[in-house]
Amino acid sequence: MLDYKRDFQHLELLDSNFKTCPSTVEWDRLDIIAKFLAPFYDITCAFSGTKYPTSNLFFPCVSTAYTSLKHERLHGIEYIRNIATRMLVKFEKYWFDFCDILAIAVILDPRYKFTFVEWCYKKLYGGDYISETKKVRDKLFALFSNYEKVDLQTTGDMSSLPSVSSQVDSSTSFPSITKSQFLQDYNSFEEEITMPKKSQLEMYLEEQKIDRKVKLDVLHFWKGNQYRFPEVAAMARDVLCIPISTISSESAFSNSGRILDQYRSALKPDIVEALVCSKDWLYGNNVLPDPELDGVTEDIMNLGITEIDSEDAKCSANRVA
């Protein structure tokens, strides 16, 4: 409606009978409400897309909305403050349940990593942000430890295989080890002792971030780096594919009842999967019109119309006869 503000004002000047034009105060309120709802519009567009994006995109949007709600509750005008207070109660109900996994997902985006989470939490929690970021870091490394165990188990299975040297006959002669080779082995041993080995996750976090202006496909990034950081790539594959929204966006801040009734909300997982896949198969590939399909449809429609016209003509001829 704000796009037509000048049109309404111009109509008020031309038509003296037009009495429903918003006043200046009402236009100002509409402008404030539009700015207040802008972050939630961005979230709705991100969450309700037909081709769902990866989960790393949600934390910046949700953090922006959370910051906006807290700011308006403290510093907004009265009617916005009342709205923000009610929305914040419902928002925090979901925030505290899913903020950790959202933070971990954005950490696995090489454009943001852990520093972005620290900055967001500092704006959200103030002096308590250190303890909150520590919780996220602990959960991140706890999750990563599961993927390290899988990799170690695979390595252990490979090491249990018989070595080539054990199968060589003992009568085979080997060249003697020179002094330089012996000292070179010692240098390698010394480096292992003096320099603690870092995990793949620590090395990833210490690498320089990619410019945020770069349009990046995060799944393609981890596919290309799966040989450098195989354990982190495996974790990223599982975390980034998590669907964030499981309900329609219209009900996120709705005070009315649920859109789904009690029967459809209690469907078994296999039934829901069948419905979702069927809808995707039916409508997923119809983004662009198919000229051949349109031509066949037009021929069928013309054929039906021709048959109806011929039958009407026969009936008319019979009545005349």
Q: With a cut of 90, say whether residue 232 has pLDDT above it.
A: yes
Strand segments, DSSP code E, in 135-293 are none
pLDDT on residue 161 = 43
> 242: which residues sit within 8 A by CB, 6+ positions away?
55, 101, 105
pLDDT above 90: residue 230 = yes
* 76 within domain boundaries: yes
Q: Which helix (H) or strand (E) holds 289?
A: none
Domain membership flag for residue 306: no
Residue 163 in domain: no
279 pLDDT band, cuts 50/70/90, is confident
Domain presence at residue 111: yes
For residue 195, what is the DSSP state? Answer: S
Q: Is 177's pLDDT higher than 70?
A: no
174 has a pLDDT exceeding 60: no
317 pLDDT more than 70? no
- From CA 312, how far away is CA 83, in angstroms rounded? 64
Domain assignment present for 148 = yes
Q: Which amino acid is at 190?
A: E
Say if CB 122 and CB 129 are below 8 A apart: yes
The answer as to whether 311 is a domain residue is no
What is the C-alpha separation between 19 and 169, in angstroms, rounded?
A: 105
The pLDDT score that the predictor gives to residue 284 is 62
Residue-level pLDDT at 52: 56
Q: Which amino acid is at 191?
A: E
* pLDDT tens column, 106-141: 999 999 999 999 999 998 888 888 999 999 999 999
**Helix or strand or coil: residue 212?**
coil
Q: What is the pLDDT of residue 55?
A: 83
CA dist., res. 54 & res. 46, Å (int): 10
State the chain's mean pLDDT as an integer. Answer: 74
Residue 48 tokens read as 């309700």
What is the structure's pLDDT at 204?
A: 93
Greater pLDDT, 96 or 258: 96
Most confident of 125-134, 260-269, 281-290: 125-134
Q: Is residue 80 part of a domain?
A: yes
Interior angle at CA 13, CA 12 and CA 18, nearest 5:
30
321 pLDDT above the threshold of 60? no
pLDDT at 162 over 50: no
Q: How confident is the model at residue 271 (pLDDT cuts 50, 70, 90)?
A: confident
Lowest-pLDDT range, 93-102, 131-140, 166-175, 208-217?
166-175
CB 85 within 8 A of CB 79: no
The C-alpha atoms of residue 82 and residue 61 are separated, in whole angstroms, by 22
State the total domains in the chain.
1
Question: 0.75 exceeded by the pTM?
Answer: no
Of the spans 6-20, 165-179, 206-220, 257-271, which averages the highest pLDDT? 206-220
Q: Pick the residue with more confidence: 154 or 241?
A: 241
pLDDT recorded at residue 47: 72
Nearest to 232 by CA among 135, 110, 121: 110
What is the full DSSP assignment across 24-35? HHHHHHHHHHHH
| Neighbouring residues of 91: CB distance < 8 A, sequence distance ≥ 6 | 65, 66, 69
pLDDT at 169: 43
Residue 194 lies in a domain: yes
Domain of 99 in residue numbering reads as 2-157+177-260
Gap between the Cα atoms of 139 and 176, Å rounded: 51
Buried b (16+ CB within 10 A) or exposed e, 143-180: bbeebbeeeeeeeeeeeeeeeeeeeeeeeeeeeeeeee
For residue range 30-65, list pLDDT tens digits in order: 888 888 888 888 777 777 665 557 788 888 888 888
CA separation for the pair 125, 32 (Å, rounded): 25
Output the pLDDT for position 170.
40
Phi, psi of 165 (to 5 degrees): -65, -30
Query: What pLDDT does residue 260 have?
Result: 53
* Mean per-residue pLDDT, 89-97: 85
Q: Is 249 left (phi over 0), alpha (psi -120 to 50) or beta?
A: alpha
Helices (H), ranges, 160-246? 179-194, 200-206, 218-224, 230-240
pLDDT at 104 over 90: yes
Examine the pLDDT at 196 and tell me if it is beyond 70: no
Alpha-carbon distance of 31 to 21, in angstroms, equals 15
Distance CA 206, CA 200 (A): 10
